[in-house]
Amino acid sequence: MKNAKFYHAGCPVCVNAEKELVKYINPAEVDTEIVHLGEQQNRIQEAEEFGVNSVPALVLDDQVFHINFGASLEEVKNG
């Protein structure tokens, strides 16, 4: 099974992207973890290590896909 991580910060752009994205990922094939960086700030470093620069972002097989633009990770860090 493949793994995916969807990082977001809870902003309207991120929430909308999450709703749309979840509809298209087959849970039988992809184990998707939703990571709300606004609530899980201890995971920001993990996101940075994958190469996430802004949210919303999807990481598939260690490859980052930035979706639209909600906030930079710097903005998320500084709350």
- Give the fold, CATH level 3, of 2-73: Glutaredoxin (3.40.30)
pLDDT of residue 6: 95
pLDDT of residue 77: 81
pTM, to two decimals: 0.88
pLDDT of residue 67: 87
Indicate whether 12 pLDDT > 90: no
Indicate whether 2 pLDDT > 80: yes
pLDDT digits (tens, 9 = 90+) for 17-54: 888 888 899 999 999 999 999 899 999 999 999 999 99
DSSP 26-73: -TTTEEEEEEETTT-GGGHHHHHHHT--EEEEEEETTEEEEEEEEEEH
Q: What are the domain boundaries of the chain? A: 2-73
